[in-house]
Amino acid sequence: MLAPRKRLLPVAVIVTLVIFLALNHREYNHIYQQLSSSININAAAVPDGAPANRTLGFGAVLVVSKEGSDRRHALLQAANVTDIDLTIPKQPVWTEGDVTSFKNGVEKSVQRGSILAWLGHRNALQWFLDSGLETALILEDDVDWDIRLRSVQIPLAASAARSMLPPPKSYLPSFNSDANRTQYWGDPKAWDLLYLGHCGDYFNEVTYEGLKDSVKGFNISDLPHVMYNDPSLPVKSDLHPFTQSLFEAINVPAHTRIFHRSKFPLCTFGYAVTRAAAERLLDDLAPAKLRPNGPKAFDVAILHACNKGSGTPSPTPKNNPKPHPDPKLRYKYASPGIRCWTLNSELFHHMPGHSQIAKIDEDQGRTVGIPPVDFAGQTQIEVRNETTNIGCGFWGGAFAFDNEDTARLKFLQEEVGRKGKCLKEGKDSL
């Protein structure tokens, strides 16, 4: 069992193997070396039980994080222990002019923190498009994940995605054909956005009292989905109360996740996008200016985009019943919105505590309430001492290490990150 380490002062320290390097490029901070194999993966090269690569099967894992964020250090330490490559696109210093331009004269009362978060996500999306990569996973910098993310959870989730989003079959043999290649997360032409980190997709709005009654009568068979066993998922009684209610309503067995078409996803803790989706979000679905009667937060803009795309099948047949409204763009974009899928329960969740948006608004004298999902999970977090819906995470500092302590880092990488041993009091094995 490891004794918890005192939380270190936030410093942007990057650990690559046993060498500590501070990388500060002109355009972005690049954490680790990206692997070219994260783009196209041959089916035969994805054996059952093999861990995901260091970018979790995507072209890159990007982090939305402003310069000097006090949350970055803990994130980098978790990435080191689990051997995950992170890229942190450098954000501009947003000015009052940027905020005013974004408001577009539409809404004076919109939260300043929400605007800055929206701009940060757009910055990451633009970096992704400029990179030329095919897919990217975008994380917020306050997320937590399980120590078995790369070794167990991602391989299982990606297998479920491939089962629902396989590449189209071709009977013309060709070395470079899609028939001879399998994308780790399924055919990127078949999906636009994957919700891997969220604060719930409960099929409808939630209140402080819980899920709406309409969810209780929902038939999961009406929704494209696949269920699969994941031994790393906490027991039902340790899941968030709203997640428990949802899983009971739709009869989800213990230690089981669902990969399904999105219904009402909340929050953008961790989401994967294709190039087409990133273009749509930047150009017209989540633009850099508020619109009359439009969403006032980036995650709500994504929700609206998913709702617009819910009528478009994924994968999308040639006789698409709900195509893009502009015939000239249908060769490029399949849907009026974006085709979204949710992993339920999530793999990434924000660590307990105030969000960056709340902190910014509190600094301006605004009273910030606790969202219903966070409010409902408060007591459970205190009892479990773990982040919501995560079995053995990094919140609390049990797997922290001093910057110069390479021996401890190597030990954590092997015993915790690779072998999946939860070396916490009362959790020496899972």
173 found inside a domain: no
Domain span holding position 368: 60-167+181-415
Question: Does the residue 402 lie in any domain?
Answer: yes
Q: What is the pLDDT of residues 240-291, one digit of tens each?
A: 999 999 999 999 999 999 999 999 999 999 999 999 999 999 999 999 999 8
Give me the pLDDT at residue 25, please.
31
Q: Does the residue 26 lie in any domain?
A: no
Higher pLDDT, 179 or 238: 238
pLDDT above 90 covers a percentage of the chain that reads: 68
Tell me: the pLDDT tens digits for 141-194? 999 999 999 999 999 999 999 999 997 665 555 444 444 345 899 999 999 999
Question: For residue 394, is it within any domain?
Answer: yes
Q: Looking at residues 24-50, what average pLDDT do you find? A: 39
pLDDT of 177 reads 44
pLDDT over threshold 70, residue 204: yes
Res 6 pLDDT > 80? no
Mean pLDDT computed over 224-241 = 96
Question: Does any domain span residue 424?
Answer: no
What is the Cα–Cα distance from 164 to 427, expressed in whole angstroms? Answer: 35
8 compared with 137, residue with greater pLDDT: 137
Residue 331, in any domain of the structure: yes
Residue 414's φ and ψ, nearest 5 degrees, are: -75, -50
Residue 84: pLDDT over 70 = yes
For residue 140, the model assigns a pLDDT of 97
Least confident among 60-64, 208-212, 353-357: 353-357
CB 194 within 8 A of CB 262: no
pLDDT at residue 415 greater than cutoff 70:
yes
- Given a cut of 80, whether residue 36 has pLDDT beyond it is no
- Which residue has better confidence, 205 or 299? 299
pLDDT of residue 43: 37
Question: Per-residue pLDDT averaged across 212-224, rounded?
Answer: 78
Residue 359: per-residue pLDDT: 53
Token pair recorded at residue 95: 């000015």
Q: What is the average pLDDT score of the chain?
A: 84
What is the pTM (predicted TM-score) of this model? 0.86
Reported as a pLDDT band with limits 50, 70 and 90, residue 211 is confident
Residue 114 has pLDDT above 70, yes or no: yes
Q: What is the average pLDDT across 284-308?
A: 93
Instruction: Give the pLDDT confidence score for residue 9 in this predicted structure.
Output: 33
pLDDT of residue 298: 95
Residue 288 located in a structural domain: yes
Count of structural domains, the chain:
1
The answer to whether residue 9 sits within a structural domain is no
